[in-house]
Amino acid sequence: MPTEVPAVPRAERPFPAWPADRAARYRSAGAWTDTSIGAELASTAVRFPDRTAVVDAERRLTYAELDRSATAVALGLLDHGFVPGDVVVVQSANVVETIVAFYGLVRAGLVPVCALPQHGERDIADLCTISGARAHLVQADWARSDLPAAAARLRDTHGTRVLTVRGRVPGGLALEDLLDGPVERALPRPDPEGLAVLQLSGGTTGTPKLIPRVHCDYLCNARAWVERWGWDEHVVSIHALPVVHNAGVALSVLPAMLAGGTLVLAPGADAATIARTIEREGATDMVANATVAYRLLESPEADAGALRTLRRFSVGPQTPEYAARLESELGIRAIGVFGMGEGLIMCTPWDAPYEARLTTVGTPIHPLDEVRIVDDELQDVAPGEVGELICRGPYTIPGFYAAPEHDARAFTEDGYYRTGDLARAHDVDGTTFYSIEGRIKDNVNRGGEKIHADEIERLLVTHPAVAEVAVVGMPDPELGERLCAYVVPRAGAAAPTVPDLAEFLLGLGLAKFKLPERVEVRDALPVTNVRKVAKKALREDIAAILARERG
């Protein structure tokens, strides 16, 4: 085997590069460095070989053990015919083996597509098609569905090899079987500006968009988080949301590794499990969402005693009541945070005024982040007015993976990403803080997962009992929003129920978390003066109905 595997030529990569002038500026400022994710893990393992790197409900690995395991997996995959640049769709939950697999893939120069175990076969098939995935990695013992069986079916339809963690399946390659392999040989040397990870976008349409994160931009993102919070080897970061999603990788996995701290994987998002895990591991920091905050606040097991080591809870936008209660009832400093897989992260500084921490998402985490709030003509709005948030910077992508037509709509001519989020700038003691005021996108935010309404609508309109349908978010105190389907039945057909629609959508391979949880039957759907369905009216309608039902 050669001592160095050549990188994939940049000309063959189906995503745009940063403009040369901006790339040069990021390098000269030190935002981009000549290293890779795998090399940074090796460096941390040298500095802190015996410190706990990652722990779940059953296992823990030191940095030396994680480094060796990831290296063995990387070399084993290369020995089994994979080559740098191959794409692997990953469906694995919050277990130590997921982290070993993640680092093993990127060390081999392979590119993980960070899917969820909850994604249905339809979702994964789309991701395989768009990415040209060569393999599909699944957690064999995941209890909520038979991922190996789904992977076998996708192998037949898409030609993907089946990789597994936490178990073996016929015809698959178990990563556990690679762990005892030799690790003395050289690993591939990735291009720092080469593709490292493909994240999933919460963009404006149901067609999946893949976000190409390269080594230097993802490390810049993580390094900025470490510097914002002064993380060192004593930090213990607990993550209860899907760990390979962007929030997990950008704000927990990579920052903990750069600092030499400990990453704690909570096996579930229920309050009792999280509280026990925090108490057992002495967790100091947590990035979560309003759903997790709500559950902790409402659980008798998650009291101030159990959570006494947790000093900081980073929670998403528009949750002032939860933030206030976290501080007053549990004694945990609440930090507003806003982020996206495409790049930009904002959070409220530790010393931000109380009201700013409760009502805004703070400031960008990197000094080279550029943020604007614009109107429909992409002109800056007046200070204090609401407009669309657009951004660019050293870790905000310049374009999506193999989606040039979408890029033409999603980016301005001067390289700003159009987030689709509505925002407002606030001057607080001479510092500009930002609040998120809503969204332009037609999607539903269910517990932090962005669900595209048009994807569900395109499937539901093929139901034999559905003539017209519109899907909107309905307010929910735990998840933020749940899905409500407004349905106009076909003439002579009985109106479908929630179980009817669930059975139909699951039969089409849709993920369970995307299912409508309420059906409202109407004779017609309201429309705007240009004859489009009036989604705003429907959202207001379901909110009013729920308010009446609550009394």
Cα–Cα distance between 250 and 255 in angstroms, integer?
7
> Which pair of structure tokens corresponds to residue 342?
């495409």
Residue-wise pLDDT for 114-140, tens only, equals: 999 989 899 999 999 999 999 999 999
Q: Which residue has the tokens 């930009």?
A: 344
Q: List for the chain the helix, strand, coil content (%; round to 5).
A: 35, 25, 40
Taken in order 214, 218, 219, 221, the sign of the CA dihedral is positive
Bridge-based pairing of strands 111-114 and 87-91 is parallel
CB distance 338 to 361 below 8 Å: yes
- Strand, helix or coil for residue 419: strand
Looking up tokens 């990735």 gives 190
Alpha helices by DSSP H, 414-529: 453-460, 498-507
Residue 342's nearest CA partner among 416, 279, 430, 269 is 416
Please give the pLDDT value at position 2: 30
Query: In the Cβ-directed half-sphere of 351, how many Cα atoms lie within 13 Å?
Result: 3
Q: Which of 84, 78, 83, 79 is nearest to 195 (CA)?
A: 84
Token code pair at residue 283: 């967790």
Distance, in Å, from the CA atom of 316 to the CA atom of 389, rounded to the nearest integer, reads 16
In 43-194, the DSSP E strands lie at 52-55, 60-62, 87-91, 111-114, 135-139, 161-165, 173-174
Nearest 5 degrees, angle CA 403-CA 405-CA 407?
70
Token pair for 326: 């976290």
Which helix (H) or strand (E) covers residue 437, if one does?
strand 431-439
DSSP 18: P
Q: Cα separation of 159 and 135, whole Å?
A: 8
Q: How far apart are CA 54 and CA 253, in angstroms?
A: 9
Provide the 10 A C-beta neighbour count for residue 299: 15
Residue 401 CA neighbour count, 13 Å, CB half: 29
Task: Reduce the secondary structure of 74-104 to three states and give it as a string.
Answer: HHHHHHCCCCCCCEEEEECCCCHHHHHHHHH
Q: Which long-range contacts (CB under 8 A, 24 or more apart) does 400-408 make?
A: 400/15, 400/201, 400/209, 400/210, 400/211, 400/212, 401/14, 401/15, 401/130, 401/131, 401/198, 401/209, 401/210, 401/211, 401/212, 402/14, 402/15, 402/130, 402/210, 403/209, 403/210, 406/203, 406/209, 407/16
Return the pLDDT at 220.
98
Domains and CATH numbers, the chain: 35-47+58-190 (3.40.50.980), 443-550 (3.30.300.30)
Q: What is the pLDDT, as a whole number, of residue 528?
A: 65
Q: Which residue positions in the chain have pLDDT lower than 50?
A: 1-4, 6, 8-11, 204-205, 530
Q: How far is it, in rounded angstroms, from Cα 541 to Cα 496? A: 20
Locate 432 and state its tokens.
């500009």
C-alpha span between 471 and 462 (Å, rounded): 14
pLDDT at site 203: 52
Q: What is the pLDDT of residue 261?
A: 98
Give the type of residue at 30: G
Structure tokens at 504: 């139909």
Query: Which pTM value belongs to this model?
Result: 0.85
CA 142: distance to chain centroid?
Answer: 20
Among residues 451, 480, 508, the alpha carbon closest in space to that of 116 is found at: 451
Phi, psi of 409, rounded to the nearest 5 degrees: -90, -30
Q: For 439-478, what is each residue's pLDDT tens digit?
A: 776 778 888 787 878 788 888 988 999 988 999 999 998 8
Distance CA 465, CA 125 (A): 27
377: CB partners within 8 A, 6+ apart: none
| Cα distances (angstroms) measured from residue 438 to each of 338, 418, 424, 526 | 12, 14, 10, 21
d(CA 224, CA 493): 57
Tell me, rounded to whole angstroms, the distance of Cα 177 from its chain centroid: 29
Q: State the Cα–Cα distance between residues 398 and 211, nearest whole angstrom.
A: 10
Which pLDDT value is given to residue 317? 64
